[in-house]
């Protein structure tokens, strides 16, 4: 008995050591799981397809191999219809090529053959781009009597004075860079193959001047955007080499604002050297509607100041549970994802409904599902390690809850911020090609031109035709009405 009493302090000390070791092992296991999840996510981001893409979408570079390697279906009595070839556009010029039989006599008895019809097929011919030179000849006149008055005929005002670039060429360059993601040096090479030598410096100068030219249109689009009841916002990084007080490798930001669904869609880009809360304040001004954004807290200050209804993004919340399931099966993550998928199914069903009908459908079906999500969240949140991947997913859902359920208050409000993310994607793709902007002027010009291109696309306009008309008529605009006529929802294109 005495021996056991003597050993009690030693046993207590050992129990404390074991307890600390257990806690340390649990912490290390959590850290290992987090690192494994991060590694899988990095590998998928670097080498694989994004988890939320359509699994049936073929690889861009391997679609021929995929089609050749596809196995025949085992299902019997299944009819496979070959996709019908789409007819070529009727407005394209047709070049007739007549093919006649060389021998027009019957090989059996030598009788001359009689024409009984024809077989017609069409092929698509590509004609390489061509350049033309416009020579302006401005006639001059003088008074023969007094010999003191001379007048010279004027030509249309150019978008860039004393430049060789026509509105059509500037439009082509703008769309190639800001819609197709082609860097300027590639266009220089393309032009050289057509025996045209224009250096990249000149092209960059033209793009900066075009971005400055359209500023009045951007101002009117901003005013129109602030009349919408709901706005989407997001931001992404951009590198600008020559920024005062910053290293060339430092990050700057491209902010995007997009109107919610409805008539006159507007997409606006804005360059800023920072990501501070002052930027949303400046961009939103005195706007007091609804704002859809992610969980970045820089938006909160202007929302409180302007009494803006801040809405969360269910796509962000869902993405965290998708990432968990990419690492391995997790019952809570699976249940959450299934419930969120039901919310999206309701939105898909109500896509074409009027706002009042959509709100009624949400009240009847979405709100009960949200209650199930909240109940599952409450039962799981406090029993999950906050630093783990599951804890972080649940924590985001809990912190953003009031914002996430806000879309059920009004049938106009969207369920997520996907319209902003979709609008910013062309910029992200272009950034992979041209990598950086040389100067702040270039970044601001890029923001303006991205705004016009994406807004034109959102209004179902051909961006090249639209910019051509803008570059032709904007230099001659003298009133606000002239500029308003060039807005994407007002302009008349052939």
Read out DSSP for 426-449? HHHHHHHHH--EEEHHHHHHHHHH
The yes-or-no verdict on residue 331 having pLDDT over 50 is yes
- Is 83 within the bounds of a domain? no
Cβ neighbours of residue 480 closer than 8 Å, sequence gap 6 or more: 220
The yes-or-no verdict on residue 312 having pLDDT over 50 is yes
Predicted confidence (pLDDT) per residue in 38-50, tens digit: 676 666 666 555 5
pLDDT for position 471:
96
- Is 31 within the bounds of a domain? no
Instruction: Identify the residue with better confidence: 17 or 285.
Output: 285
The yes-or-no verdict on residue 160 having pLDDT over 90 is yes
> How far is CA 59 from its chain centroid?
19
Q: Which residue is it, tokens 């209004």?
A: 459
- Is 119 within the bounds of a domain? no
CB 457 within 8 A of CB 463: yes
One domain for residues 282 and 411: no
Residue 319 belongs to domain spanning: 314-416
- Is 276 within the bounds of a domain? yes
Token duo for residue 96: 């007739």
One domain for residues 323 and 386: yes
- Is 371 within the bounds of a domain? yes
| Residue from 234, 427, 237 nearest 315 by CA | 234
How many angstroms separate the CA atoms of 437 and 446, rounded?
A: 9
Cβ neighbours of residue 371 closer than 8 Å, sequence gap 6 or more: none
How many angstroms separate the CA atoms of 258 and 420, rounded?
A: 6
pLDDT band at residue 2 under the 50/70/90 scheme:
low
- Is 445 within the bounds of a domain? yes
What CATH number corresponds to the domain at position 244?
A: 3.30.420
pLDDT for position 20:
81
Instruction: Identify the residue with better confidence: 147 or 198.
Output: 198
pLDDT (average), residues 194-212: 93
pLDDT band at residue 69 under the 50/70/90 scheme:
very low
pLDDT (average), residues 373-398: 88
Please count the structural domains in the chain. Answer: 2
How many angstroms separate the CA atoms of 111 and 107, rounded?
A: 8
pLDDT (average), residues 96-100: 89
Predicted confidence (pLDDT) per residue in 373-385, tens digit: 999 999 998 888 8
Average pLDDT, the chain: 85
How many other CB atoms are there within 10 angstroms of residue 36's CB atom?
13
One domain for residues 432 and 296: yes
CB 305 within 8 A of CB 299: no
How buried is residue 163: exposed, middle or buried, by Cβ count under 10 Å (0-12/13-18/19+)?
Answer: middle
- Between the CA of residue 331 and those of 29, 324, 390, 399, what are the distances in Å? 19, 10, 11, 22
Token duo for residue 248: 């060339």
- Is 261 within the bounds of a domain? yes
pLDDT (average), residues 317-340: 88
Last residue in a domain, options 416, 447, 475 = 416
The yes-or-no verdict on residue 53 having pLDDT over 50 is no
pLDDT band at residue 173 under the 50/70/90 scheme:
very high
The yes-or-no verdict on residue 80 having pLDDT over 80 is no
Backbone angles phi, psi at 438, to 5 degrees: -75, -40
């Amino acid at each position: 008995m005495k021996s056991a009493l003597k050993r009690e302090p030693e046993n207590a000390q050992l129990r404390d050591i074991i307890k600390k070791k257990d806690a340390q092992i649990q912490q290390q296991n959590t850290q290992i799981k987090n690192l494994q999840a991060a590694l899988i996510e990095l590998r998928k981001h670097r080498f694989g397809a994004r988890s939320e893409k359509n699994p049936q979408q073929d690889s861009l570079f391997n679609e021929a191999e995929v089609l050749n390697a596809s196995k025949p279906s085992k299902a019997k009595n299944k009819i496979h219809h070959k996709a019908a070839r789409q007819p070529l556009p009727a407005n394209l010029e047709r070049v007739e090529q007549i093919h006649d039989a060389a021998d027009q006599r019957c090989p059996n008895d030598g009788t001359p053959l009689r024409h009984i019809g024809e077989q017609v097929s069409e092929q698509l011919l590509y004609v390489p781009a061509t350049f033309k030179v416009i020579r302006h000849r401005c006639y001059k006149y003088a008074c023969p009597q007094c010999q003191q008055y001379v007048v010279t005929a004027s030509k249309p005002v150019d978008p860039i004075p004393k430049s060789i670039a026509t509105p059509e060429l500037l439009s082509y360059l703008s769309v190639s860079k800001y819609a197709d993601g082609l860097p300027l040096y590639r266009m220089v090479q393309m032009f050289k193959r057509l025996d045209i030598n224009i250096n990249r410096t000149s092209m960059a100068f033209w793009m900066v001047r075009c971005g400055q030219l359209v500023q009045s249109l951007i101002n009117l689009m901003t005013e129109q955007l602030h009349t919408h009841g709901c706005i989407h916002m997001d931001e992404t990084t951009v590198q600008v080499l020559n920024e005062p007080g910053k290293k060339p490798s430092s990050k700057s930001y491209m902010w995007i604002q997009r109107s919610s669904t409805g008539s006159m869609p507007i997409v606006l880009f804005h360059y800023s050297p920072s990501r501070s809360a002052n930027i949303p304040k400046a961009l939103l001004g005195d706007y007091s509607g609804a704002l859809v954004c992610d969980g970045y807290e820089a938006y909160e200050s202007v929302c409180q100041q302007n009494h803006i209804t801040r809405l969360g993004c269910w796509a962000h919340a869902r993405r965290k549970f998708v990432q968990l399931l990419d690492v391995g099966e997790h019952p809570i993550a699976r249940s959450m994802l299934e419930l969120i998928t039901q919310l999206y199914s309701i939105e898909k069903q109500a896509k074409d409904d009027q706002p009042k009908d959509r709100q009624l459908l949400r009240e009847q079906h979405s709100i009960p599902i949200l209650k199930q999500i909240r109940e599952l969240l409450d039962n799981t949140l406090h029993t999950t390690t906050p630093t783990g991947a599951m804890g972080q997913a649940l924590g985001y859902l809990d912190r953003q809850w009031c914002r996430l359920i806000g879309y059920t208050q009004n049938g106009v409000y969207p369920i997520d911020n996907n319209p902003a993310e979709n609008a910013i994607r062309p910029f992200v793709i272009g950034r992979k090609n041209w990598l950086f902007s040389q100067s702040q002027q270039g970044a601001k010009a890029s923001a303006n031109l991205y705004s016009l291109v994406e807004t034109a696309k959102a209004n179902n306009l051909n961006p090249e035709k639209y910019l051509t008309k803008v570059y032709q008529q904007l230099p001659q605009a003298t009133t606000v009405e002239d500029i308003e006529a060039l807005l994407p929802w007002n302009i008349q294109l052939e």
